């Protein structure tokens, strides 16, 4: 199963390094004024500010999802959508590292019309959208 399993550690490492840089600098930078900013934010909840203060619950939930992924590892990586599951797993692991190390997830990418997020969040979203696309789109033979 040597596919592109490297996706997992690369996404986790890049996510970790970007968060480390943001946390160390407590960045607050307008990249494109009124469009894109890089702002340090410690998020104890989930996406869109839901479950604020629910770090422990979200940590537990993330571990359960990863456990299920490990149980069904062979089946998940056997289909054409294998890369989607690797992105989802990498995103979960990236945010779990923050929850364990800091008690909150570090978010910093802020498009002003959307809640701030990080690379782990983006990885999970791309993975989920990919899985949905594989479910919805007719398979090509």
Q: Select which of 15, 98, 107, 110 is catalytic.
A: 107
SS3 of 50-101 = CCCCCHHHHHHHHHHHHHHHHHCHHHHCCCCCHHHHHHHHHHHHHHHHHHHH
> Does residue 107 carry a catalytic annotation?
yes
> Does residue 110 carry a catalytic annotation?
no
CB of 44 closer than 8 Å to CB of 52: yes
State the Cα–Cα distance between residues 30 and 34, nearest whole angstrom: 8
Q: Select which of 15, 98, 110, 121 is catalytic.
A: 121
State the Cα–Cα distance between residues 95 and 101, nearest whole angstrom: 10
User: Partners of 39 in the beta sheet?
Assistant: 28
State the Cα–Cα distance between residues 135 and 16, nearest whole angstrom: 31
State the catalytic residues.
107, 121
């Amino acid at each position: 199963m040597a596919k592109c399993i490297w996706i997992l550690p690369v996404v986790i490492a890049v996510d970790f390094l970007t968060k480390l840089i943001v946390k160390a600098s407590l960045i607050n930078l307008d990249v494109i004024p009124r469009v894109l900013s890089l702002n340090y934010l410690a998020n104890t909840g989930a996406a869109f500010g839901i479950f604020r203060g629910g770090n422990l619950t979200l940590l537990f939930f993330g571990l359960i999802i990863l456990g299920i992924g490990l149980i069904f590892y062979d089946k998940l990586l056997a289909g054409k959508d294998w890369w989607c599951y690797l992105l989802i797993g990498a995103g979960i692991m990236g945010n779990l590292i923050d929850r364990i190390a800091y008690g909150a997830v570090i978010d910093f990418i802020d498009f002003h019309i959307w809640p701030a997020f990080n690379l782990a969040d983006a990885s999970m979203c791309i993975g989920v959208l990919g899985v949905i696309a594989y479910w919805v789109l007719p398979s090509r033979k």
